[in-house]
Amino acid sequence: MNTEKNGGNTPVLKPLRGEFTDDAYWMELCDKTRYVLPKPGVPATAENIRLWLNRLEIKEADYREAMSTNITDMIALNPDWPLRAFVGLLLEYKFTS
């Protein structure tokens, strides 16, 4: 997390991205399954992504192979992505691969 350089410890958080081109497709995948996407404003954490891996019965090793990175690095690479986007990718992986 970035902090202000003026000596304060106030975190500077980037707002979460609200729109994704694939959102309609993710909703379509949800309509075909029993899953419901998280709300757009929910931040992604390693813990909640692991919860979704468990729900979708995806092994973390399979996630690393499919995404070519681990969960923590994926979050760091996409700091403005909400949990919804990560879950959308997991749904794509689970139901289209």
Q: Please say if the pLDDT value at position 97 is more than 70.
A: yes
Confirm if 19 and 26 have CB atoms less than 8 A apart.
no
Confirm if 92 and 25 have CB atoms less than 8 A apart.
yes
| Tally of structural domains, the chain | 1
Is 3 within the bounds of a domain?
A: no
Is 30 within the bounds of a domain?
A: yes
Is 39 within the bounds of a domain?
A: yes
Report yes or no on whether pTM surpasses 0.85.
no
- Domain residue limits at 70: 20-96
Q: Please say if the pLDDT value at position 45 is more than 80.
A: yes
Confirm if 71 and 49 have CB atoms less than 8 A apart.
yes
Query: What is the pLDDT averaged over residues 85-92?
Result: 97
Is 64 within the bounds of a domain?
A: yes
Average pLDDT, the chain: 89
- The model's pLDDT over 4-28, given as tens digits with 9 standing for 90+, comes to 444 455 555 678 998 899 999 999 9
Is 6 within the bounds of a domain?
A: no
Is 71 within the bounds of a domain?
A: yes
